[in-house]
Structure 1
Amino acid sequence: MTSDVRKLPTGFGRLWTAQTVSSLGDGVTHAALPLLALTLTRDPMALAVVTAAGTLPWLLFGVVGGALMDRWDRRRTMWVADTARAVLLVMPAAAAVLGVLSIPLLAAVAFLLGLGGLFFDTAATAYLPDLLGRDPVHLERANSRLRGAQTAMSGFAGPPAGSALLTLGRAVPLVADAVSFALSALLVRSLPAVPRPAGGVRASLLREARDGASYVFRDRLLLGLALRPAVGNVAFLAVETVLALFAHDRLGIGTFGFGLLLTAEATGGLLGAGIASFLGRRLGTGTALTCTAASEGLAVLGLAAAPNPYLAGFALAVCGAGMGATMVLAPSLRQAIVPARLMGRVASTSRMLAMCAAPFGAFAGGWLATAYDVRTPLYAAAGVLLTMTALTASMTGNRRVEAALRGAEPAGGPVRPAAGSPVLEGAPGRRREPVADGVAETSHVPGQRS
């Protein structure tokens, strides 16, 4: 197959470098923020407020943000969002230096960082298939490299660095992340421009947002890919909310050890991203996605029962491997089958479902830890993940995936129909080979940018 030997476009290298730099800063902050919060309070519900705040922008603006991404220049949106986040991080860094850092300030910064992440992530998801010509092989290779870099930096190198930098001063890890955002913005600004999808008469913003959401809900495969991270995020945020407290109180792990614990998850994530293509070829993408989802649930169950840091680290590594593979296979599949003109809206709808569920997990984790025990949220999370895997297995099966790929639009796609059309051309109900009779978006886990 020709696409197996063609090189990825030159611009991809700059995109990869930008994400690598930014992910290193993310890893630094990811380890530092919960530790900063622990210096201010030991209340699990207060910690849940900070964790949940970063996910609220997806609840409030997710679908509309996707519609904007299908109107705006995606490259410009990415570098502006990263520039804004670099400037934003100056605020908590200054507050830390002045001794006025507080839980409300951390929550506000988390919210605004999440808003910037909404625009950047949606734009990047829509930009990548345009850059690669919607080639499925290129998309899988590119997502594998992007996910590998993100995991290595945000989970493997970043958390120990964040823990170490925190010992130098509370503002240091925040400044490091601000610098990473600034460098990422410069690199993204140098990326090549790509053609915008052809469009017809433009509908209202809300109508376009609704069309994108309905496209996901009418397609069982896309809905299954969206439901897994949505339900999974309830579980993962419950885990993340209490992870620092669990590590300190039950495993006896200190500041530096917590960073190493997150590194174990990232090590598994690197392995998962590296073997994702092999699993997809060997098992079929649908079966591979089901297996990785099951491995996550079993790993969290092992984490809950872990009697020492070593078994806890192993459980997080297994969970990371499942997530690493999932976050290569699921986005690559979505990018290959969704028309370019709808990519921003479909991506944001899927991500919105995942992120809207996250605050419930954060508060559920805080409540369960307060009412029962710090291990209780971990056991509950494992049950949720395993139940979700069983319920969505048939929605993302191999036959359904194969039919979706056969019915996908070629690069470029047809011109978008005029506003007011009852069904968008190319929507699931209009495919020549219906997905329903034929044959996950990124979840949030410790060590991963939301």
Structure 2
Amino acid sequence: MSKQATNNPTTLPPAKPELPRSFRRIWAASAVSSLGDGVYATAFPLLAFNLTQSPVMLGVVRASTLLPWLLFGLIGGALVDRWNRRSTMWIADLCRAVLLAAAVLGAALGFLGVPLLLGLGFLLGIGSLLFDTASMAYLPDLLGRDQDVLVAANSRLQGTELAAADFAGPPVGSALFVLGRTVPMLGDAVSFLFSSLMIRSLPKAAPKPAPPKGSLLAEAKQGASYLVQNRVLLGLALRPAVGNLAFSGMAAVLVVFAHAVLHAGTAGYGLLLTIESVGGLLGSTLGPRLGRALGTGTALTTTALLEALGILGEGLSSTVVEAGLFSALCGAGIGATIVLGPSVRQAIVPGELMGRVGAASRLIAVCAAPTGAILGGWLAEGAGPRAPFLVGAGILASMTIVVGTMTSNRKIDAALAEAEREREAERVPVPALS
């Protein structure tokens, strides 16, 4: 069995796999772009609230950024597999920079309003769909299929994104909003432009996806079918979906929980969000070590149980400090999961299907979020603000048992080994007929 297929906790691979110098460019692009996202994510709700005091309209503006995933998620994956992934990434970021700059110009001309925000959110959501799908598919093209290398790369990317978007982004976004309502948009446009230029400089020799063999809808269906028929990939897709169901229900009422149960003010509510991000950063850093020590399958089961325990403890807490500790535990589980899970998918999915399978997996997770938010609000209204935490913890813990059987160490090892055998077979030259 090759090193790629080895996931045995008794045989530990090197702790720090070497990453090529070209990775630094995509890492830098991710850091700056994530900072811009953090700025925008903070300023966008402030701007929407400044324009309309309606909670319903605020929800609609937020939903506009997610709608493209629901409408075009699978199609976007098929397009990424047809197109050059590196080109898709830098063009998507360039278009997002132009969109934001145009929005700033439109605001200066007096067109700033909710319709502008809705259109901007929708178009930026399309750019995010294409960029995120292409990015996850391009990483194996750049680094190869060694799972240890992919885990190390995803750990650095996710850790940097959390630090930039969740720590640096919010205060910078708030400060820029004070300078002017559209200044954060201009800052985010600059971040996308930088990211586009950095990605444009990446190697051009990435493997080209296979040419299309049918209609776009048929290709999208092929990716979804490949995901559903592979139990390991399906299990890896269900993990974040179940997590989103639980987390969204909790997040939907967190501000009510913080004020009504923990008796915390705005500062206490912000502290909870920050502490969870600290846990996420720690989890993304320690995820590779946990995977090497326990095996990826066992590590994913462990992180899910940590998340369930964190949600349960937070829901039973009576003080901000107590809730913060459990929030950090939940964040650490999430941070490790988003490093380990995608790395397995990147190592086993054929290159020509990477975009479609990744998009199908992301679509499952995205669809679970609004369902969880509605469920959380309904539970809080009927049974109190603690109810979404308790029910979410139960859902996550029970589904962990089911999903854990689909992504055990043995099954992940077998999937990695099979993927390596298929790649080896493709590399063997076929003798010419005499």
TM-score (structure 1 length as normaliser): 0.82
Deviates more, 1:351-360 or 1:167-176: 167-176
Which runs of 5 or more residues in structure 1 are unaligned? Answer: 417-450
Q: Secondary structure at the match of 2:300?
A: helix
Which residue in the other structure is 2:120 paired with? 109
Q: Cα–Cα, structure 1 residues 257 and 39, in superposed 2: closer, same or farther, change >3 Å? A: farther
What's 1:146 paired with?
A: 157
Task: Write the distance in 2 (CA, Å) between the matches of 1:321 and 1:77.
Answer: 32
Equivalent position of 2:265 in the other structure = 253
2:414 aligns with 403
Q: What CA deviation, in whole Å up to 9, does each residue of 1:85-133 have, x standing for no partner?
A: 2233346656777887555544443332221111001111111001112
1:353 aligns with 2:375: no
- Equivalent residue, structure 1, for 2:83: 72
Residue 175, structure 1, aligned to residue 186, structure 2 = yes
Superposed, 1:264-275 pairs within 5 Å as 264-275=275-286
- C-alpha RMSD of matched pairs (Å): 3.1
Give the equivalent residue in structure 1 for 2:93: 82
CA distance in 1, matches of 2:105, 2:157: 32
Mapped contact 2:155–2:287 kept (Cα < 8 A): yes
Alignment gaps of 5+ in structure 2: 5-12, 428-434
Query: Percent identity, aligned pairs only?
Result: 54
Q: Deviations over 1:371-395 (max 9, x none)?
A: 6655554444333323332331111
The partner residue of 1:55 within 40, 51, 66 is: 66
132, 135, 138: which one aligns with 2:146: 135
User: What code does the residue aligned with 1:253 have?
Assistant: G
The more displaced of 50-59 and 269-278 is: 50-59
Q: 1:402 to 1:247 in 2, by over 3 A?
A: same
Kept in 1: contact 2:82–2:210 (CA 8 A):
no
**For residues 423 and 211 of structure 2, what CA distance do their matches in structure 1 show?**
14
Residue matched to 1:342:
353
Amino acid at match of 1:57: P
1:434 matched residue in structure 2: none
Partners of 1:9 and 1:132 within 8 A in 2: yes
5 Å-filtered alignment, 1:229-244, equals 229-244=240-255
The answer as to whether partners of 1:48 and 1:241 remain within 8 angstroms in 2 is: no
Distance 1:311 1:31 in 2: 26
Where in structure 2 are the equivalents of 1:205-244 lying within 5 Å?
205-244=216-255
Q: Shift of the alpha carbon at 1:187?
A: 0.8
Displacement after TM superposition at 1:365 (Å): 4.1
1:317 CA drift (Å) = 1.9
Bigger fraction of residues in helix: 2
Equivalent in the alignment of 1:295: 306
In the TM superposition, residue 21 of structure 1 has moved relative to its aligned partner by 0.4
Matched, 1:33 2:33: no
Alpha-carbon distance in structure 2 between the residues aligned to 1:377 and 1:264: 20
The 8 Å contact of residues 309 and 393 in structure 2, kept in 1 or not, is answered as yes
- CA gap 1:49/1:316 in 2 versus in 1, 3 angstroms: farther
* TM-score, L = length of structure 2: 0.85
Question: What is the identity, as a one-letter code, of the residue corresponding to 2:135?
Answer: A
The AA in structure 1 aligned to 2:96 is: R
Maintained 8 Å contact 2:80/2:134: yes
Q: Which amino acid is 2:265 matched to?
A: I
Q: How has the CA–CA distance of structure 1 residues 264 and 285 changed in structure 2, closer, same or farther, with 3 Å as cutoff?
A: same
1:56 partner amino acid: L
The residue number in structure 2 matching 1:22 is: 33
Q: CA deviation at 1:296?
A: 1.6
Could you list the per-position Cα deviations for residues 279-337 of structure 1 after superposition, in whole angstroms to 9, with x for gaps in the alignment? Answer: 11111111110111122222223333443433343333222211110111101111111
User: Aligned partner of 2:171: which letter?
Assistant: P
Structure 1 residues 81 and 38: CA distance shift in structure 2, 3 A: same
Greater alpha carbon shift after TM alignment, 226-235 vs 167-176? 167-176
Q: Does structure 2 conserve the Cα–Cα contact (< 8 Å) formed by 1:59 and 1:352?
A: yes
Which secondary structure state, in structure 1, belongs to the residue aligned with residue 205 of structure 2?
coil
Match of 2:401 among 382, 387, 390: 390
SS of residue paired to 2:247: helix
Superimposed CA distance per residue, residues 8-49 of structure 1 (whole angstroms, 9 cap, x where no aligned partner): 122110000000001111122223334444555666544433
Counterpart for residue 444 of structure 1: none
Does 93-102 or 26-35 show the bigger shift? 93-102
8 Å contact from structure 1 (residues 198, 415) kept in 2: no
Q: Deviations over 1:225-251 (max 9, x none)?
A: 011112222233333444456556665
- Tell whether 2:22 aligns with 1:11: yes
Find the residue that maps to 2:199 and give its secondary structure.
helix
Label 1:198 to 1:376 Cα distance change in 2 as closer, same or farther (>3 A): closer
Change over 3 Å in CA distance of 1:372–1:314 after alignment to 2: same
Letter in 1 for 2:215: S
Asked if the contact 2:137/2:354 (under 8 Å) is kept, the reply is yes
The letter for the 2-side match of 1:121 is: D
Question: Matched residues in 2 for 1:38 and 1:387: separation?
Answer: 38
CA contact (8 A) 2:83 2:209 kept: no
